[in-house]
Chains A and B, each alone.
Chain A
Amino acid sequence: MRFELFIASRYLRAKRRQAVVGVITAISIVGVAAGVASLIVALAITNGMRRDLQQRLLGSTAHISLMRVAGDGIEHWQALTDRLRHLPHVTAAAPALYGQVLISRGARSGGALVKGILPQQERTVSTLLNSVKEGSAAALAPSPSSGAPSPNAATPPLVIGSDLAQQIGASIGDTVLVTSPQGELTPFGLVPKYQRFQVTGIFHSGFYDYDSSYALARLTDVQHLFGEPNLVSVISFKVDDLYHADRIGREIERAAGKGFMTTNWMEQNRELFRALRLEQVVTFIVIGLIVCVAALNILIALTMMVMEKTRDIAVLMSYGVRPAQVRRIFLWQGMLISILGTTIGLALGYGLSWAGGHYRFIHLSAQVYSLDYLPFAPRWQDGVIVALVSLGVSLLATLYPSSSAAKILPAEALRYE
């Protein structure tokens, strides 16, 4: 192997009899480097977008949600929450009561999912309260004098999503009517329950689903609205290892006892992450074509080099270089081009990704992307995969020229010299 590498590396550095071979070799190296660098940068961007999306999503969503299989609400939730909060890997827990409502202001209305929360505990499992852009979420906290908000307050506070606020034309201080479809039975039939709330805050999470259909209120107010004073519908958890949320979820289920089930952030957002993964794969394939074109250059350069070196190959064979050794010389030749191009490409790709992440020189529209810069998150695993693909494709490109070099018949090659 040392001999083959010795010859191949010298051939790579030597001045060419045909200048075009040197030019194509240089183009091959630049092509591989460009392809590898593009792949690293593209993957760093998709990873950055994915990471950012995941961070924001996980900020708004609990890692694990525990609920009743029958959907009949969780009784004695205080004790259960305290018990489950101390399970291994669980870092925080918070109860919540969800319900579908209609929120209206004057003639304008919109469907929403109102979530009754205990703000202090909710902040430990979700950052949604931190994304209040107008007004404040402070009103949701229990009053310091009474220790608990009064369910009979005339207009309890409500924090709504920005798109929902826009839809119903609500702004801070406005009173909105929240109507629950779970009505009361009266002599006149089933009458929907309703309650006036005052908009005290408007949040913008960057997720349309949340911003267009979420409303946050105090747990007691929502329990009062739905006529379920001692129930919550879900207990949300944060865990220390979010990628093992399914396993921890099963432990929580076991600890909660019969009749409970859990769902986690991966299940809830499976389609979204699948789409992101697909986008990454498509990006890899499309940009990977650059590497394939570069590999084609390697094939051309090596084929021309074999033609140029036919006499030398025959001479090498005349003093005992075996056909397999000749094959390996040109395999090495191609691989050296590829290794050189891949190394340059990796350095360039990671350098650009680092600079992109550090200096944030590509700006985005915050209204559209919820981010004002393009995030870069280069991963070493991507570098390994890209390098292996680059070397593998190049290896394929060397097979034909190297095997044709090994088939040269020395006597034939030298007969007309």
Chain B
Amino acid sequence: MPSESSSVVEQSFPIEGATEAAPFAPATGFDDSVMLRAEDLRKEYRSGSQPLVLFDGLNLTVHRGEMVAIVGESGSGKSTLLHLMAALDRPTAGDVYCASTWLGKLTATQAAAFRNREIGYVWQLHYLLPEFTALENAAMPLLARDEPRSTAFAKARELLREVGLEARTHHLAGELSGGEQQRVSLARALVTQPRLLLADEPTGNLDNHTAEAVFGLLERLHTMHRLTSILVTHNMEIAAHCGRTLRLHEGRLHEVRLQAGRSEDTSRQMATASSEAPGHPIVRTAFPGGNTAGTA
């Protein structure tokens, strides 16, 4: 699917709106083809006197242009993992790097600017602001960086055209159907031309037909905008269409091989070291030396 990914040119991540310089990943061992890297992640919540550990020692590497699906049981920590990748939350331990940016060291303001520039986030529920029209909702990330209204609306209108909602630009969020709302939310996520798309069960709240349509759109936009996409989903059909599928189970990521509605858990823990994994550099899994199952 993401065959053009290898042509993505490496860029630094200037964080506008931040007063301090953004922290960068250590230069040693930095791989240009890596879009996202999580190292030894641990996330725990305090629940009474006992800490609830979602994951511990979790590692993940996603290369530029990849479309990765993360599956797993409810409560396994998939959404939390996505929050950590978007700098919406902080890990208890471990580090997350997005290209050269070290997310753990970002201040709240830097993290906001980072999300505005680099991340497109789609939620299971559309989370459109009900007081605003589809056009205003889609333009919101650009308006937040004080881009002129005319420019922001022009870009938002273009995105709404891409998701097929040209005729619905001036409708309030409540006046749109569930599928339309999710398409507006997709337009909002992509209006800033991010490089990383994070989608948390984007079709989870839609009927099968609409879910297929929305995922089809997502796939098309992934290719068109040369995105790196990570999808959290319960839908194995959708996961099977992604370049790679990972299963979050008992705090560890396992690569899963999916074929036409049938899945086969490789039962190999991602963190097992192997640096000789063959395959295309873009699709080679990046768990330090992970395997390539299901990626080609």
**Which one of B79, B119, B120, B132 has the greatest number of beta carbons of chain A within 10 Å?**
B132
Contact B112 A320 (CB under 8 A): yes
Given contacts A3-B143, A3-B144, A318-B115, 5 further A-B contacts (CB under 8 A): A312-B129, A319-B141, A321-B116, A322-B17, A322-B113
Give the complex CA separation of A11 and B130 in angstroms: 10
**Which one of A318, A412, A417 has the greatest number of beta carbons of chain B within 10 Å?**
A318
Judged by DSSP, the binding face of A is helix
| Residue of chain A at shortest CB distance from B147 | A3
Give the complex CA separation of A325 and B108 in angstroms: 12
Contact B129 A322 (CB under 8 A): no
**B107-136 interface with A by 8 A CB criterion:** 108-109, 112-117, 119-121, 123, 125, 127, 129-132
Contact A319 B88 (CB under 8 A): no
Contact B144 A320 (CB under 8 A): yes
Which residues in A have some Cβ–Cβ distance to B below 8 Å?
1-3, 6, 10-11, 13-14, 311-312, 315-325, 409-412, 414-415, 417
Contact A319 B131 (CB under 8 A): no
A3's contact among B114, B115, B127, B146, by CB below 8 Å, is which?
B146
Give the complex CA separation of A376 and B192 in angstroms: 59
Contact A325 B144 (CB under 8 A): yes
| Residue of chain A at shortest CB distance from B140 | A319
**B67-87 interface with A by 8 A CB criterion:** 79-80, 83, 86
Contact A414 B112 (CB under 8 A): no
Give every chain B residue within 8 A of A10 (Cβ-Cβ).
Answer: 131-132
A316's contact among B109, B117, B119, B140, by CB below 8 Å, is which?
B140
Contact B89 A409 (CB under 8 A): yes
Give the complex CA separation of A127 and B127 in angstroms: 77
Please, could you name 5 A-B residue pairs with CB atoms under 8 Å apart, sorted by A? A10-B132, A318-B121, A320-B112, A320-B116, A321-B116
Contacts A3-B144, A316-B140; is A323 near B109 (CB within 8 Å)?
A: yes
| Residue of chain B at shortest CB distance from A324 | B109
Cβ of B189 < 8 Å from any Cβ of A? Answer: yes
Q: From residue A1, how far is it (CB to closest CB) to chain B in Å? A: 8
Contact A411 B80 (CB under 8 A): yes
Contact A320 B115 (CB under 8 A): yes
A319's contact among B108, B146, B188, by CB below 8 Å, is which?
B188
Q: From residue A17, how far is it (CB to closest CB) to chain B in Å? A: 8
Cβ of B145 < 8 Å from any Cβ of A? Answer: yes
Contact B125 A322 (CB under 8 A): no
Q: Mark B180-201, 1 if CB is under 8 A from A, else 0.
A: 0000000011001000000000
Give the complex CA separation of A1 and B86 in angstroms: 25
Contacts A10-B132, A410-B88; is A319 near B121 (CB within 8 Å)?
A: yes
Contact B129 A319 (CB under 8 A): no
Q: From residue B14, how far is it (CB to closest CB) to chain A in Å? A: 14
A322's contact among B112, B131, B132, B188, by CB below 8 Å, is which?
B112
Give the complex CA separation of A6 and B17 in angstroms: 19
| Residue of chain B at shortest CB distance from A12 | B131
Q: From residue B90, how far is it (CB to closest CB) to chain A in Å? A: 9
Give the complex CA separation of A54 and B89 in angstroms: 68
Q: From residue B122, how far is it (CB to closest CB) to chain A in Å? A: 10
Give the complex CA separation of A6 and B89 in angstroms: 28
Give the complex CA separation of A11 and B17 in angstroms: 24
| Residue of chain A at shortest CB distance from B124 | A417
Give every chain B residue within 8 A of A321 (Cβ-Cβ).
Answer: 112, 116, 144
Give every chain A residue within 8 A of B140 (Cβ-Cβ).
Answer: 316, 319
Give every chain B residue within 8 A of A2 (Cβ-Cβ).
Answer: 143, 146, 149
Q: From residue A312, how far is it (CB to closest CB) to chain B in Å? A: 6
| Residue of chain B at shortest CB distance from A410 | B88
Give the complex CA separation of A86 and B131 in angstroms: 73
Contact B141 A320 (CB under 8 A): yes
For the complex of A and B, 3 pairs with smallest distance between CB atoms:
A320-B116, A411-B89, A14-B131
Give every chain B residue within 8 A of A3 (Cβ-Cβ).
Answer: 143-144, 146
Contact B88 A411 (CB under 8 A): yes
Q: From residue A411, how far is it (CB to closest CB) to chain B in Å? A: 4
Contact B109 A311 (CB under 8 A): no
Give every chain A residue within 8 A of B123 (Cβ-Cβ).
Answer: 315, 318, 414
| Residue of chain A at shortest CB distance from B90 | A411
Contact A322 B109 (CB under 8 A): yes
Give the complex CA separation of A11 and B132 in angstroms: 9
Contact B83 A319 (CB under 8 A): no
**Which one of A11, A311, A315, A319 has the greatest number of beta carbons of chain B within 10 Å?**
A319
Give the complex CA separation of A325 and B116 in angstroms: 13
| Residue of chain A at shortest CB distance from B117 | A320
| Residue of chain A at shortest CB distance from B16 | A320
Q: Mark B265-292, 1 if CB is under 8 A from A, else 0.
A: 0000000000000000000000000000
